Each structure stands twice: as C-alpha cells, then as structure tokens.
Structure 1
Amino acid sequence: MFTTRRTWRSALAVLGAAAVIASAPAPALAASSAPWIAYGGTSVNNARVPAGPVELTTRSPRAFDTLTYVVDGRVVSAPATATQLPDGDWSATARADLSGFAGRVSVTARLTSGRSSSSIAKSVRVVDPASTLGNGSAGTITRPSRVARAQFGDGRPGALTTGLRGGSPRTVLTGDQTITRKGTVLDGVQIEGCLVVKADDVVVRNSRIVCHRPGRQLAVNVADGTRNLVIEDSEIDATGTDVGIGWGNYTLRRVNLHGSADGARWGTKVTIEDSWIHDMSREDGLHSDAMQTTSASDVVIRHNTLDPSNHGDPLNAAIMIGTETGQRSLKNVRIEGNYLGGGAYTVNIRSDANIAGLVLKDNVFEDNSRYGAVVAPTGKDIVFAGNVMGWTGKAISVDAR
C-alpha cells in the first residue's frame, strides 16, 4: 500500500523545484536571483490559473520600465509600469485576460527598458474558472460539466442511479458476516458489520453493508480462491476502513461505495460498471483512491463515476495503478466511458509499473485535481484514446513521468 510520503514525493518530482510562497493574503514576494512570474503569491510554473482575467506579477533583479503579457503570440494585458522594491528587485503587476485558453500554455512577460527588451516564458495550466481548486489548495467543482451532461445525462452514475433500488432492506443482520455456502443470494439485507465471502457464485443485491470499523482492512473481503461474487444495486458504507472491497474475482454493478480510504482494490477478474465510488477518507499513513491496483489482470472498469474528493480535499487519485505486489504485472485492463475527478492526478500510473495491455478510452475528466488529469510513464503498453476534459471537451494532456 502506498504511503502519503511517497505520493507527495512523486508529485514534487513531477512539479520540479518551483518556488512556493504562502497565499491569501498575498505576501511580499521574496527577492530573486532570476526573473520570475507569480500568481496569487505562488510561482506560476505549473500553477493552476483560472481561464479569465487574472493578475500576474513579474519581478526581476534587473531594472525594467514596463511589462506586457503575451500568450501564444497574443497580447493579453495592457502595459504596466515597473517599480523598484526595497530589496532592490524590480516588479510590475498586470491584469492578463486568459479567457478562451485551456490546458498548458506558455505565458511570456515582455519587459522593456528604454530601447531594449527581454522576455520571460513560463508554463501555466489554465483551468475551469468554476473550479475552486487553485494554487494547490483544496476544493472541488460543484457543477456537472457540459461534456459530462452530454455523455452521461441523467443516467450518470450517482445518488439517483446507484445503491438500493427497492427501498429499505427487509432483513437486518447484526455483526460481521461470513458466507461459506456456494450460490448464496442475499436480497434486501442490511449487514451492520463487515462481510467476508468464502464461497463461489455469491450474489448480493438490493442490500446495504455498513462496516464502520476504523483499522479494519476490508469492508468486503473476497477471500483468496473465491470466484464470481456479484454485488448489484447495493450500498457499501465503509466509513473508517482501509479498503471498501478487494481483491479479485468480483463484479460491482450500480453500487454506491464510499467512506473508506481506498474504494475498490482490484486484482484478477474484476468488473466494475455503472457504479459510484466517492467521498474517500484520509487516514494517517495512507493515501486515498477511489480505485487502486498493485497487480491485476482481466479487469473492466466501465461507465462509473469515480472521485475520491471529500469536503474539498481532492485526496490522491480516482485510479491509482502500480504493479509492486502479487504477480507484479498489469495485463488486459480496460478503463472506458467513466466520469473521473479529484486526486493529485486523477489517474496516476507508477513509473515502475509492468504493463502489458492497459486501455484508457472515452473517459471524461473534471478539472478538480491538484496537478492534472493523468500522469503516466512513457514507453509502456498503454493506449489513450478519446479522453476529454469535461469543461472544454478538449483532449486531455498526459503528463510524463
């Protein structure tokens, strides 16, 4: 299981050594040995900047008279006059209009001094102005995106399309339950405890599992060697547990899973479709993902809503992929037609993953991650096709490890 320390070490490695200064209220920027651009008190390198009018500040140890911002060859600000700061640097702030831009863009600050000129170019991530997740702080988008509405409509997996379909459960079972009889069917049952399945061909439908057990590894434990568990039209309330369900040989359909640190952990022969995995919890020593694998084969993740975010905390990833345990490989895995959001990166694929056949296709991403939609290693057997950002409809960018 990954640690929070490892997660943030990876994130910092991706972002590089960008200077960070506390924000809100915006502090005086520290003296610099080289020119730089700041937004909201933070170095603009790889910052999240809303697609609209924003104030950008440039400072330099070399004197300059005026500042103008340019994006993709287009002037986006009026000239601003520079002033000298008490520490000797020169600084100017101009209002740049980034409306109409999206994704990674290069912002150039043109500095003039008499008849001479110079420029500074920095990479900026222009994001949905409706997002409250800016400058690495916590927050989420509160409205469905245009593309998500078009693709999923009212049938997008969520509160109205997942969980119990027939009202309240008819039977209540108190305490942890273990199923040992092949072909057992639980229909209309509420389990006030955790569930262990040790028999093949078990079906759980129109039921609710309420496993509130801090420190418990699994709310639903599919025992080794068990085959063909199906959970459908049900709720797994795994508040406080490490993992909602794991590890292999199971199917979830129209399941509402929430509350655990990791939602679904998958290994061999797993299908998850039309389900809603959300509101994961942050636990000491763990990061939190809607889904995670450390070794897998023959997996289909189709038409789900996956977002680990909880009360403004985006947590780690909607889908975290690695191959550091078990067979130490990932084979024949399809992730398609899902609605994905949250996380440091929404989909995070480890650089050391041993991959033979991973497809991410036709997924819609919301812009409520900290750093981007996908981070993945290059040179792996991964197919990306038809994945778009929900607020623009444009193809996602994949950040390389």
Structure 2
Amino acid sequence: MTDYLSQILTIFLKRNKQMIQQINYFKDLEKFLNSSLQSHQALHITLSLNQIGAEGASVLGLGLGKCIDLSNLQLYLGQNQISDQSSLDLGSGLEKCTNFSNLKLYFSIRLYELLGAFKDICGKKKSRSIQESKMLIYKGDTQIGKNQIGAEGALGLFSGLGKCTNLSNLTLDLHQNQIGAEGASALGFGLGNCTNLQNLKLYLGSNQIGDEGIQGLGSGLAKCTNLSNLTFNFSENQIGDKGALGLGFVFNKWTNLSILTLYLHQNQIGTEGASGLCSGLGKCTNLSDLTLDLNNNQTGALGSFGLEKCTNLQNLTLLLGNNQIDDEGTSVIGFVLVKCTNIQNLTLHLHYNQINDEGSSNLGCSLLKCTNMLNLTLNLYQNEINKKQQLKVKNKILKSQRLVAFKFNQW
C-alpha cells in the first residue's frame, strides 16, 4: 500500500512540475512576438509601465491570436496609453484563443509592479537619488491604472471575451478607465456567453458606470449560474438605489455562490438600494464568506435588512462607515448578526456615523448573543459615544466565552 501511494505521489509531482515548466514568462513584447507562438499553453506577460502604446497593444493582440493552444494567460498592461482601437485588436486576438480556461487581464498597475519599477530605476540609474526615483514612481501613480479605454474599446474587448466560452476562471481589472454604462453593458453581454465561469473577479472602479451600466452588466452575468466565487469592485461609479436594486435582483440567480466580495464604497446608494441589495444576497443561502463594502453611501438605518437570511455565513466583513447610521440602525445590524448564528469571524466598521450610547449598548448586547464568534474587529471611531459607555461595551463583549481575538478600535 505504501509503495502504491508513493507511486501516485511521484506521478502527481511530475505532472505538477510539467505544468510549471509549461508557463512561459515574458517582460518584453518583441521577445514574445519572436517566440514559438503556436506552442504556448500557459503565458505570463508583464508589460505594465513599458510604454508599448496603442500600436504595441495592437501587435500584441495579433500575436495572441496565433497562440491557438493557449489555455492559461496572465496579462499585465497597466499605464500603457492603450486606446479604443488597440483594445479592439486585443479583443480580436483573444477571441481566437478558444481553449481558454483561466484568464487574468490587468489594465491597471499592481503594487508589486510599482515596487519592481522602483527597483529598476534605482538599480539602472545609480546616479539618480532615491528621492528623485520616488518622484518618478509617484508621477506615474497619479493616474494609476489608467489607460484610455472607453466604450468603443470595451465593446471590442468584451466581444472577444464572449467567444472564450470555455472560461472557468476570469480576472479583469479595468480600474480607472472610461468604459461607462455602454461598456459595462457590453461586458455583461459578452460574459453572458461564458456560462462555465465559476470564479470571476471584476475590478471596474472609477469607470462612470452608473445605474444603467450596473443593470446591463448584471443582466448579462445572470446567465452565469455556476459562479461560486465572485469579486466585484464597483467603487466610485455614481451607482444609486436603482443600480443597487438591479444588482440585488441578479443575486437571485447566483445561488451557488459560497464566497462573495463586493466593493461599492463612494457611490450614492440609499436605504432602498441597500435593502434591495441585501435582500438579494439573502437568496444566496450557500454563502459562507461575505465582504460587503458600503462605506461612504447613504444606507441609513435599514440598509442591512436581508442579510439575516444568510444563515451559513462563517466569515463576514461589513463596512458601513459614513452612512448616516443612528441608534435605530445599530439595532437593525444587531438583529441581523444574531440571526447569522454560524458567524465565527466578524469585522464590523461603523465609523463616522451618528451612533449614541444607547445604540452602542444594544449592539454590544447583540454581539454577545453571537455564541459561535471566535474573532471580532469592531470600529466605532468618530461617533457620539462617551468614554464610560465605550468601556461598558468593550467589557460586555469580552464576557463572551468563545471569543479568541477581539480588536476594538479607539474612538
């Protein structure tokens, strides 16, 4: 039996080694174009901060279109002045890669890329002072993530993605572009064809999507009923109640979701929109891990109603800072948390609201009833709670028999 297990382990390690060896890494566009394009199965191409421009992106699209056996691609193109036309060319290339199962497209800069650029500057130009190098990075970062992709480019790019019907894992980062409502709707239409998607991450912050765009995106993605792991970043997009309600309705279709991360900070979502959104989330009864960021909206007192139906939640991060939440609102939040009886790890941010002594006391009582909770982080910074009441709330929570870790942010 031991020999048999040893053989299985050896085969597994060999296969893993082969898979690792198949990944080809490129940081130079010309070297990629001169490589054996038709033989690539897994590619990792990093061209951020390379000034390839619109022409370079178009040529890249042509090259990718020749990688007919490609199933795994990570492509980093942040800060390259990519235009609508080159986005169309990229989409045309990607649509020929019909074997895609894993795809990550980054049109904004990741932190490690900035650090890498900083190292390069310091290493290659030793005469330059550290402060000058930092300024170069800073200047490049003032519009971090920006290319020049608008609605027209988004239409072409997303149309190409829609042809990749075998996709099961997709990450798309278009933070700080200008795709607008039309582009977001086109993305939904394209991805609606990718019904095999299980893991999806969309980073679309600061794109002027608005209510119309979020509804169009959701309408298309509603067809992706196999989603189990989902991350949306729709921060700073002028989304109001109408958009939040539409998004909440789509969650009715995603009943297989187990992990959800949803960033909606700095929009214009009020009580009606937040309630509709949370009611939709309540239909996702398989959710075990939820991060919901509604910081800097206007959700008010009743915005979290609906989450109490997510009874399988074990990990919850609820960010509701600066939302005009008063004592009544904290009572609602407490009611929701008590109903989620399986929560083990909770992060709750309620900073910059209008919570008084009564609200904080009620919240403390509710948290004490969460008998399965092991880890709690509570942020009530900048509310209207006196120091004596602060201490009472803290001591009340510390009476929990099961609590292992408690982080209490100072007011």
TM-score, L = length of structure 2? 0.37
Bigger RCO (CA 8 Å, 6+ sep): 1
The structure richer in helix per residue is 2
TM-score, L = length of structure 1? 0.38
The structure richer in strand per residue is 1
